[in-house]
Amino acid sequence: MAVHDGGERGIERHGSTDRDLAVSRFTIREENGSHRATRFTGEDADDGMSGKTLPVEKAEVMDSSAADADIDAEAAVRIVDGIGYFGAIEFSTLTAKDVLMTEFTSLQGAYDYYNEYGRIKGISVRRSKVGHRTKQGAEGEIIWQIFVCSREGERDGKHMQREDRKMDPQPITRCGCEARIKVHVDDAIRRWFVEQLCDNHNHPMLDARFKGLSRSHRAVKEGDLHQINSMRKSGLRVPTIFRAFANQSGGFETVGFEIKDIYNAIEKQRRKYSLAVGKRLENLFWCDGTSCYDYSVFGDVLGFDATYGHNKYKCPLVIFSGVDHHIRTVVFGCAILSNESEGSYVWLLWSFLEAMKGKQSKSAITDGDLTIKSAVSTVFPGAHHRLCS
């Protein structure tokens, strides 16, 4: 039996791969302020020390004699399959024992579970240390990870008293909080279980009305983003949009995100990229607000220049440009491509069209490359295609 000490609370688990959840039995006892959970699977249970197999009843008697505060809990493991399962969980009444007897179908599901658990308690969480498999053929595969309270750790001392500081230091947010959870994958059934749990906090919790403003809980949801885009199309500025959300929700603290999150969400829409096999960056397209505005005014004629030389990464640089009312060149966007195939150019033009809110150019000027010509006719079928001299 492997014992994993998690600070305030720990868990003991059998190494056996026989995990019939219907007959799983837990004996949870309290020792010196720590909770330790032992699972007995099946009709019999291994005592974990002598190597002998004892009936469950005898094992419980042995545990009862070892601690006065023994608690017998017979319950099946709760399997959490993503956020959609959270509606069946009463997070406000969860105990350490409940968390220890929870398993997850994915690592992201484990993080979402602890993040929601932290939101109800009034804390923000973040990802911390991660363990990778070193076995040949499976290198890099994650086998365990630790999620911690956002106030875990302390600021490095060298940043506390700097003589060359030109701006006021940021408020200190880390105070050495020890709260954390460690999840580990079970190779036999490909589920993640809670290996360690510590719920000791050395700081006050957030008030209920401010819980939605902590970093791990702030998010601009898809429905909010659609509303933001509609308001921007009507000419409203971001501060005005944020005040409108505050009026709808009953206050700035109940919106669920901050004004900078709106700016970040808008900027994220402007950055387009594609990934190759192995999650390597393949193509990258970028434009900013000024570029989008210039295209909305001067985008009837689009220059598509892919003749720039390769950079040190051996990738061609593509520039979208036009001319304003002062006969000056304006840049509508730029891109770096991994290759000059027709598929790359089609992806780029569709990304450009999406960033520019679907506005089609009336004329496109390119060089004589046949792949570019084919891509332009696919994405801009109504544009007059001209070749630059």
Model confidence, pTM: 0.59
pLDDT (0 to 100) of residue 23: 34
> Looking at the structure, do residues 29 and 125 belong to the same domain, yes or no?
yes
pLDDT tens figures, 163-202: 777 777 778 888 899 999 999 999 899 999 999 999 989 9
Do 229 and 303 belong to one domain? no
Nearest of 317, 299, 274 to residue 356 by alpha carbon: 299
Task: State how far the alpha carbon of 102 is from the alpha carbons of 22, 83, 213, in Å.
Answer: 14, 14, 27
- Is the domain of 244 the same as that of 135? no
Q: Do 263 and 277 share a domain, yes or no? A: no
Neighbours of 98 (CB within 10 A): 16
Take residue 237 and report the two structure tokens written for it.
């500025």
Sequence-separated (6 or more) residues with CB below 8 Å from residue 293: none
**How far is Cα 79 from Cα 41, in angstroms, rounded to an integer?**
17
Instruction: Report the 10 Å Cβ neighbour count for 39.
Output: 21
Same domain, 224 and 188: no
Q: Quick one: three-class SS letters along 156-206?
A: CHHHCCCCCCCCCCCCCCCCCCCCEEEEEEECCCCEEEEEEEECCCCCCCC
282 and 139 housed in the same domain? no
One-letter amino acid identity for 250?
G
Question: Are residues 83 and 16 part of one domain?
Answer: yes
Q: What's residue 309's pLDDT?
A: 64
- Of 269, 291, 311, the residue that ends a domain is 269
Tally of domains within the chain: 3
Segments in the chain below pLDDT 70: 1-75, 159, 270, 272, 277-278, 307, 309-313, 389
Q: What is the dihedral of CA 56, 58, 60, 63, to 10 degrees?
A: -140
Q: CATH no. for residue 322?
A: 3.30.420
Tell me how many degrees the CA angle 175-178-179 measures, rounded to the nearest 5. Answer: 115
What are 40's strand-pairing partners? 25
pLDDT at residue number 310: 61
Tell me, yes or no, whether 199 and 108 share the same domain: yes
Q: Are residues 176 and 69 in the same domain?
A: yes
**SS3 at position 365:** strand
Residue 61's nearest CA partner among 18, 21, 86, 29 is 29
Q: State which residues form the domain around 106.
A: 2-163+170-209
Q: What is the C-alpha to C-alpha distance for residues 233 and 220, in angstroms, rounded to an integer? A: 18
Residue type, 359: K
Summarize pLDDT for 98-112 with one digit per residue, the tens: 899 999 999 999 999
Phi, psi of 242 (to 5 degrees): -65, -40
Same domain, 337 and 355: yes
Q: Are residues 180 and 231 in the same domain?
A: no
| 266 vs 287: CA distance, rounded Å | 11
Same domain, 60 and 193: yes
